[in-house]
Structure 1
Amino acid sequence: MRLIPVAAVLALGLSVPTLVSATETPAPTQANATAAPSAADLLFEQPQMKNAAPGSIITYDYLRRSGIEKGPFGAPLQDTVTIKVEPGKQPDGRNMDVAMFSGLNRRPAGPFEDMVGNPIVPLFLENHVMALSKVLEANPRYLKLAIRKGMREKATVTPVKIPFDGKQVDAYRIEMQPFLGDPMGERMRGLENLTYTFVTSPSVPGEIVSMEAVSKTKDGGELLEEKLGYDQKAG
């Protein structure tokens, strides 16, 4: 992995107005289908936990690394996130205890009571935005709003097939670059090309198959790679 001089990539000082495993996620293949739902619907509105059995544990593999010299994102981090699922009050609701990373990497998360959505989506995005805002010295609210707007206006949703449990199942791939064309994008010093990719499938417990945020330089240098993927072996 090539090191990228921090002075050439991140001249820190962005000031803005208030504004499967992670390493080996199988590549989805495109499938023929009718009109797809919206990105926001797939990620935030679906009762994703309805197919997560009470008493089960959902495990995600997580990876974050950066080739930027002097490591503003910190040392590479490879860990897991586990969700212990218990019944909620409503039929599709679940009570969940989340262990986000381990040991000194542990982050506070939950508990979540009687939720129908998968908390891994907001947890991943919150963790990502906080790290990004620290590196860029940007207001996290501005970054959150840009990502939210990108989901509404810039996301493409594609029906695909993915391997799961020994067979090919229906899924959706969501892709977007929310900071391209943003008024503050040029002040992100290369990270304005961050590409977010999400894969969801109703066949997978919790429906979230993978999430990632990736940025590279024009010559292929790695600015940021952050991935989270459903661990089938642990399921």
Structure 2
Amino acid sequence: MRVLLMAVLLLLGSGQAPVTAAGTYELLFPSTALKGLEAVAAGRESGQNTLVYDRLVSGAAESQMDGRFSIGLKVKPDDKVTMALYQGTRSRGLGEYPASVGNPVIMFFLESVLADIAAQSGGSPFYMRNRIKEALLKDGQVVSVERQYENRDVAAREVTIRPFLKDKARERMGRFSELAITVTVSEEIPGWYYSLVATVPAAVGASKIGYSHAITLDGKGEGRR
């Protein structure tokens, strides 16, 4: 996972859809995403160096992590960022990354979505990974929106890509060809990302719901994680 997380660093721009690929890259993967989050010395906690995200996955394969989780991200000295995944009393470290490359939550999100849809569809994760990476390097659909953060409306941009929309293997992918990935970003949001959402509709006539994977900023403050 670590290799893809670092290799997939790409994306985003401003205004209404579409924007250039270069603008898309800069908007989705800014190296300054963690700017303003204070790094604190070991042994001290600060609300200014911690972000907490709510993660909700539904419709994933039984072998994947389905349910509600939280993700804690902490900026540490020496240009390091750590991430951990929490569910109830359980926790799992998600690695340590250079803060200078941006917020790693987007890379974790993309790799998790890839694992989920590959497990459900039975398709090649390598093929799907390449299509997602190609989509990230192409023009994205961008819409200016407003989102509420800390009881106020903030200007944001909502970017959507559909990796398999024109794929040559689209017919064989069934409902997974309809995968849509939407990322909402804002300079006024700590950590840059307000939400990251991937959706796949349910199969026609199926009793089960479609697939949804959403990571949303929950807070920034002391003692969260």
TM-score using structure 2 length = 0.75
- CA offsets, 1:182-232, max 9 Å, x none? 112222221110111100111111101100111114679632011000003
Q: Which residue of 1 aligns with 2:209?
A: 222
Q: Which residue of 2 aligns with 1:198?
A: 183
Aligned-residue sequence identity (percent) comes to: 22
Match for residue 232 of structure 1 among 216, 219, 225: 219
- CA offsets, 1:45-95, max 9 Å, x none? 3410112222421000001111x8xx556573111000111244xxxxx42
RMSD value, Cα:
3.0
1:179, distance to aligned residue in structure 2 (A): 0.8
Counterparts in 2 of 1:3-152, with a 5 A limit? 38-54=23-39, 55=46, 56-66=49-59, 71-72=61-62, 74=64, 76-88=66-78, 94-102=79-87, 106-152=91-137
Q: Which runs of 5+ in 1 are unaligned?
A: 1-30, 89-93
The secondary structure found in structure 2 opposite 1:131 is: helix
1:178 matched to 2:163? The reply is: yes
- For 2:52 and 2:137, locate their aligned partners in 1 and report how far apart those are by CA, in whole Å: 29
**Quick check: 104-113 or 32-41, which moved more?**
32-41
- CA offsets, 1:79-122, max 9 Å, x none? 1000111244xxxxx42121123479755522123434001010
Contact 1:98-1:110 at 8 Å conserved across structures = yes
- For 1:180 and 1:196, locate their aligned partners in 2 and report how far apart those are by CA, in whole Å: 12
Which structure has more relative contact order (CA 8 Å, sep 6+)? It is: 1
- The one-letter amino acid paired with 2:194 is V
1:139, distance to aligned residue in structure 2 (A): 2.5
- For 1:131 and 1:33, locate their aligned partners in 2 and report how far apart those are by CA, in whole Å: 30
Matched residue pairs, number?
Answer: 197
- For 1:144 and 1:87, locate their aligned partners in 2 and report how far apart those are by CA, in whole Å: 33
Q: Which residue of 2 aligns with 1:168?
A: 153
Contact 1:73-1:135 at 8 Å conserved across structures = no
Residue 75 to residue 202, structure 1, CA distance change in 2 (3 Å)? closer
- For 1:147 and 1:136, locate their aligned partners in 2 and report how far apart those are by CA, in whole Å: 15
The secondary structure found in structure 2 opposite 1:190 is: helix
**Quick check: 55-64 or 220-229, which moved more?**
220-229
Residue 102 to residue 72, structure 1, CA distance change in 2 (3 Å)? closer
1:234, distance to aligned residue in structure 2 (A): 5.2
- For 1:128 and 1:35, locate their aligned partners in 2 and report how far apart those are by CA, in whole Å: 23
Residue 101 to residue 145, structure 1, CA distance change in 2 (3 Å)? farther
The secondary structure found in structure 1 opposite 2:210 is: strand
- The one-letter amino acid paired with 1:231 is D
- CA offsets, 1:167-190, max 9 Å, x none? 222211001211112112222221
- CA offsets, 1:142-179, max 9 Å, x none? 21221122223352112222111222222110012111
**Quick check: 140-149 or 107-116, which moved more?**
107-116
- For 1:202 and 1:58, locate their aligned partners in 2 and report how far apart those are by CA, in whole Å: 15
- For 1:157 and 1:80, locate their aligned partners in 2 and report how far apart those are by CA, in whole Å: 27
- For 2:73 and 2:36, locate their aligned partners in 1 and report how far apart those are by CA, in whole Å: 14
